[in-house]
Amino acid sequence: MTTLLIDKIDSEIGEILVVSDGESLTSLDFSDYEPRMMRLLEKRYGSVNLVEKKNPQGFSDRIRAYLNGDYNSLDDIPVKTGGTPFQQQVWLALRTIPLGTVISYGELAAKLGKPTAYRAVGMTNSLNPVAIVLPCHRVIGTKASLTGYAGGLERKHWLLQHEGVDCHLAPIQSSRIKNSKVRTYAK
């Protein structure tokens, strides 16, 4: 059994789960998606034992700093994603998308030298184990459509707006974000 450290951060977009192996960030997800997170961790590690630890390796403080506007606080957090070589290539490429910008799945596939692999890039993006730090929220559909975010489109919109991306999209009717103060959007 693999022991991992977990911390929980209250935020404007819901409770965030931060999981570390003691050296690297291995998972970042939202508490309402904890079953998904656990499936992904168990696929990588087999049986896992999550031990609560406040601010492991200072990661929680850095995530809070990002949420409070220090956008560079996530830049050098070490991550351990697991996954296939292709998945790792996609996930690490997410860090090359500049803050305040978005890229389409097709553009990201082309950037990786695999222009026809946009669907595979989209599927890989949906399995990103380290949301926010590996900014999969910066990847959008064609024609600037806000699609596909494992944490919910409301959170994707909030994160993009937080980073200064101007989202011109139609309103979403439901919001799962705790104490939401943001307008939420969908395609």
Summarised one tens digit per residue, pLDDT across range 9-55 is 999 999 999 999 999 999 999 999 999 999 999 999 999 999 999 99
2-74 maps to CATH 3.30.160.70: yes
Amino acid at 117: A
pLDDT for 146 beyond 80:
no
Length of the chain: 187
Q: Which positions are catalytic?
A: 136
Summarised one tens digit per residue, pLDDT across range 58-112 is 999 999 999 999 999 999 999 999 999 999 999 999 999 999 999 999 999 999 9
Give the H or E element holding residue 105. Answer: helix 105-111
The class that CATH gives domain 85-186 is: mainly alpha
Closest CA to 157 of 178, 185, 117: 185
- Model pTM score: 0.84
Domain regions of the chain by residue span: 2-74, 85-186
What's the rounded Cα separation, in Å, for the pair 34 and 176? 15
CB distance 59 to 4 below 8 Å: no
